[in-house]
Every structure is written in structure tokens, then in C-alpha cells.
A = this chain, B = another copy of it.
């Protein structure tokens, strides 16, 4: 129930080149907001907004001390989509296996690979 919401937010967050670049940068190590903003041709405020999106979906964490906020990757954040992809693959695999079994067994009911709803 939590997860279905979370996976959606995570995919949406990563569907944006800037945010993906920020995640890429942060997987090399923590950085301040200004550090993160420097490479991009946009206002600091825009980058802050991207960081909020990334933090809300759990991809990064951050804490502020003094006037500088340090952002770092949350290692668990990518888990959701990794799991989702893995599950799709495993279900595809399972289906191929069933199909292969049927093809190897030339008797029984051989037909119709497509399961209509």
C-alpha cells in the first residue's frame, strides 16, 4: 500500500534528466546544494525544487548544518524500481519456462501461448 505509491513517485522523479544527473552525481558521494547546482544551466531555486522531489520519494536524504545543506543518496531509494524490474523479468522468465516445457512435451494440449483476459 505504501510501496505502490512510492514506486510511482520514484519513477516520476527519475523521469527527468536533471534529477537523474543529480542522483548520478550523488552516488559518487555527498554534496551541498550549490555543488549540485553548479553544473546546470538553471537557477539555484530550480535545483532546490528537484532536490525536494528526490527527497520526498526517498531517493536522497539531506541535513543542514549552519547554512549549508548536505545531500546524500539513500541507498534504499533505488530498491523499489530495482525490485519492480526484477519482478517483471522473473515473470517473463517463468512464462518462457512454461512455454519451453510445453514445447518439449509434444503430447498434451500444445496450443495457444497467449492468455486472453
The answer to whether the Cβ of A24 comes within 8 Å of any Cβ in the partner chain is yes
The answer to whether the Cβ of A63 comes within 8 Å of any Cβ in the partner chain is no
Known A-B contacts A27-B92, A88-B24, A88-B78; A117 and B39 likewise in contact (beta carbons under 8 Å):
yes
Cβ B14 vs Cβ A114 within 8 A: no
Assembly of this chain: how many copies? Answer: 2
Docked pose: A14 CA to B29 CA in angstroms: 27
The answer to whether the Cβ of A69 comes within 8 Å of any Cβ in the partner chain is no
Q: Which residues of B contact A82 (CB under 8 A)?
A: 82, 85, 89
The interface size of chain A toward B, counting residues with CB under 8 Å, comes to 37
Q: Which residues of B contact A92 (CB under 8 A)?
A: 27, 73, 75
Interface set, chain A 68-107, CB cutoff 8 A to B: 70, 73, 75, 78, 81-82, 84-85, 88-89, 91-92, 95
16 contacts between A and B (CB under 8 A): A8-B17, A11-B11, A14-B15, A15-B15, A20-B84, A24-B88, A28-B115, A29-B95, A29-B115, A31-B115, A31-B117, A35-B117, A39-B117, A78-B89, A82-B85, A82-B89
